[in-house]
Amino acid sequence: MDKFVIKGGRKLTGEVTISGAKNAAVAILPAVILSDEPCIIENVPLISDVNICICILTEMGAEVTMMDKNTYRIDPTKICNFCVPYEMARKMRASYYFLGALLGKFNKARVSMPGGCPLGDRPIDQHLKAFAAMGAEYTLSQGMIDLKANKLHGCQIFFDVVTVGATMNAMLAAVRAEGLTIIENAAKEPHIVDLANFLNSMGANIMGAGTDVIKIRGVEHLHGATYAVIPDQIEAGTFMAAVAATKGDVIIKNVIPKHLESITKKMEKIGVNIEQYDDSIRVWVDGPLVKANIKTAPHPGFPTDMQSQIATLLTLAEGTSIITENIWEQRFRYVDELRRMGADITVNGKVALIEGTGNLMGAPVKACDLRAGAALIIAGLAASGITEIEDIYHIERGYDCMEGKLRALGADIEKVSVPDKADAKNSEIKKAI
Ligand code: EPU
């Protein structure tokens, strides 16, 4: 069991380079299945969700070569296994993209119900609705989703809710379907556009990605391509919050400032200085931080995946801030941990009231999901004393070498391996028996 040990109170300074976007990479890697030739994917983040995607592709029969730590050559032409078993799917929410990709290429797929961060009810009814509209039949039994179709055809899909996953899955299934598919009420996140750009670079015909109507004219074949994943907007936002929380001064490189707009606007309101360049930003704080009200919303609104990090920043600001979480019902689970560090936060349903106390104190805490873990790192960096964060595997699912990047900015953070006391006790008992 690993944990992060952080000695707080050091200002972050210097330069950091943002990695490729997790939520784009975990869709683009399965999308390679749709190609009839090998593809090269660059700027892939080194995170455990990507490792799982690569394991799944390899198990299916794809030939995967790691060309350098962020570049993979994937040859999908020998894929002969259309099943993603429970042991792999349970570790990652995005395993559902194998449904769309396998269905789109082979007209069949068998994927275990996806796992991922515990954020409350995470239905996939809209994904299944899209596949059914294209002519697929599905059955759900013993935790497995089975999909099959004689042939997929174009159709009109209107999503009942704005959903990133179902929008991407519908695109994956539709690119090789016969005729025109129109997706209405589509999600508009940067990773939707990135997936569309990758598919188009293989010969797909997708128009309108990034707006709420996406039109896809099916093509018979997709060819190989070399493609670089966009920078991770949430990793960039997390570093922005960490720099602000420590009152530091950092140049954040490899970002698309446009993707950060909603985060930048809120941070400026809080009192953070931000200067934008072509593909980097400078973030610094030289005055007091002040309260702000935030409501999470689908893109271009304020991203739910930045909610816990900005909440941590607001615990250090003057005044009372209000955060309304509109996407995930259990995205305030980190609040109990922040309270252990001295934060004054009251949660009532989907609304959190944060009384800025201006300071936090180090404490032993647990990451309960990926972004909660990021929030605790920010809290630990800003707090007085020592913070120890357990269950950091959540953080490693989505952040590429977080502690290394923070150390390079002057943070005092170490990853420490600790023997699991429960495991040790179990082996002691077994020996005794
Ligand atoms: N929803 C449905 N039915 C569906 C699908 C979604 O009702 O079939 C609802 C959900 O319950 C939720 C809302 O629609 O209330 C949005 O869900 P969405 O499908 O957009 O989320 P997702 O695709 O499961 C992705 C990211 C999440 C991020 C959300 C929202 C990936 C792998 N995950 O999840 O990322 O929070 O979009 O932007 O792309 C994270 O990175 O920490 C993370 C959780």
Model confidence pLDDT, tens digit, residues 252-279: 999 999 999 999 999 999 999 999 999 9
Distance between Cα 339 and ligand 1 center (Å): 27
Judged against a pLDDT cut of 90, whether residue 347 lies above it is answered with yes
Distance between Cα 394 and ligand 1 center (Å): 17
Distance between Cα 33 and ligand 1 center (Å): 22
Judged against a pLDDT cut of 90, whether residue 189 lies above it is answered with yes
- Counted residue by residue, the chain has a size of 433
pLDDT at 379: 98
Atom of ligand 1 at shortest distance to CA of 329? 15
H helix intervals, 61-210: 86-89, 97-106, 125-133, 164-174, 190-201
Q: Which of 99, 161, 326, 370 to mutate to test the pocket of ligand 1 (most atoms within 8 A of CB)?
A: 161
Q: What is the pLDDT of residues 386-430, one digit of tens each?
A: 999 999 999 999 999 999 999 999 999 999 998 766 666 666 666
From residue 223, how far is each of 180, 220, 328, 392 by CA, in Å? Answer: 20, 10, 37, 39
Atom of ligand 1 at shortest distance to CA of 191? 39
**SS3 label, residue 184:** strand
pLDDT at 88: 83
Distance between Cα 93 and ligand 1 center (Å): 9
Name the burial class of residue 432, with classes exposed (0-12), middle (13-18) and buried (19+) by CB atoms within 10 angstroms of its CB: exposed
Atom of ligand 1 at shortest distance to CA of 116? 44
Q: What is the mean pLDDT of residues 25-29?
A: 98
- What share of the chain in percent tops pLDDT 70? 95
Q: Which of 29, 98, 122, 191 to mutate to test the pocket of ligand 1 (most atoms within 8 A of CB)?
A: 122
Contact at 8 Å (CB) between 254 and 291? Answer: no
Angle at 109 between CA 106 and CA 111, to 5 degrees: 155
**Cα–Cα dist 418/146, whole Å:** 41
Identify any residues that bridge with 274 across adjacent strands, giving them in sequence order: 283
The model's confidence at residue 187, banded by pLDDT at 50, 70 and 90, is: very high
Q: Which of 124, 163, 171, 306 to mutate to test the pocket of ligand 1 (most atoms within 8 A of CB)?
A: 163
Angle at 47 between CA 381 and CA 12, to 5 degrees: 25
Distance between Cα 179 and ligand 1 center (Å): 28
Distance between Cα 353 and ligand 1 center (Å): 24
Q: What is the mean pLDDT of residues 94-98?
A: 92
Distance between Cα 39 and ligand 1 center (Å): 27
Judged against a pLDDT cut of 90, whether residue 326 lies above it is answered with yes
pLDDT at 146: 94
Distance between Cα 164 and ligand 1 center (Å): 6
**SS3 label, residue 148:** strand
Q: What is the mean pLDDT of residues 179-199?
A: 98
pLDDT at 301: 98
**Cα–Cα dist 423/23, whole Å:** 34
pLDDT at 344: 97
Question: If you ran DSSP here, which 8-state letter would residue 177 be given?
Answer: S
pLDDT at 137: 97
The model's confidence at residue 89, banded by pLDDT at 50, 70 and 90, is: confident
Q: What's the alpha-carbon Rg for the chain, to the nearest Å?
A: 22
Q: What predicted TM-score, i.e. pTM, was given to this entire model?
A: 0.95
Residue nearest (by alpha carbon) to ligand 1 atom 43: 305
Instruction: Determine the distance from the C-alpha atom of residue 431 to the mean position of all C-alpha atoms in its chain, rounded to a whole number.
Output: 42
Q: What is the mean pLDDT of residues 356-384?
A: 96
Atom of ligand 1 at shortest distance to CA of 26? 32
Atom of ligand 1 at shortest distance to CA of 117? 44
Phi, psi of 420 (to 5 degrees): -75, 115
Name the burial class of residue 221, with classes exposed (0-12), middle (13-18) and buried (19+) by CB atoms within 10 angstroms of its CB: exposed
Judged against a pLDDT cut of 80, whether residue 218 lies above it is answered with yes
Question: If you ran DSSP here, which 8-state letter would residue 259 be given?
Answer: G
Q: What is the pLDDT of residues 56-71, one digit of tens each?
A: 999 999 999 999 999 9
Residues contacting ligand 1 via CB (< 6 Å): 23, 26, 93-94, 117, 121-127, 161, 163-166, 187, 304-305, 327, 370-371, 398
- All residues at 6 or more sequence positions from 122 whose CB lies less than 8 Å from its CB, including other chains: 93, 114, 116
Residue nearest (by alpha carbon) to ligand 1 atom 2: 123
Secondary structure element (H or E) that encloses residue 149, with its range: none
Q: What is the mean pLDDT of residues 130-148?
A: 94
Question: If you ran DSSP here, which 8-state letter would residue 211 be given?
Answer: B
Name the residues annotated as catalytic: 117
pLDDT at 91: 79
From residue 129, how far is each of 101, 159, 169 by CA, in Å? Answer: 16, 9, 11
Residue nearest (by alpha carbon) to ligand 1 atom 31: 23
Q: What is the mean pLDDT of residues 205-229?
A: 98
Q: Which of 131, 262, 327 to mutate to test the pocket of ligand 1 (most atoms within 8 A of CB)?
A: 327
Atom of ligand 1 at shortest distance to CA of 298? 38
Residue nearest (by alpha carbon) to ligand 1 atom 6: 163
Judged against a pLDDT cut of 90, whether residue 52 lies above it is answered with yes
Residue nearest (by alpha carbon) to ligand 1 atom 12: 327
**Cα–Cα dist 167/127, whole Å:** 8
Q: Which of 223, 268, 198 is nearest to 21 (CA)?
A: 198
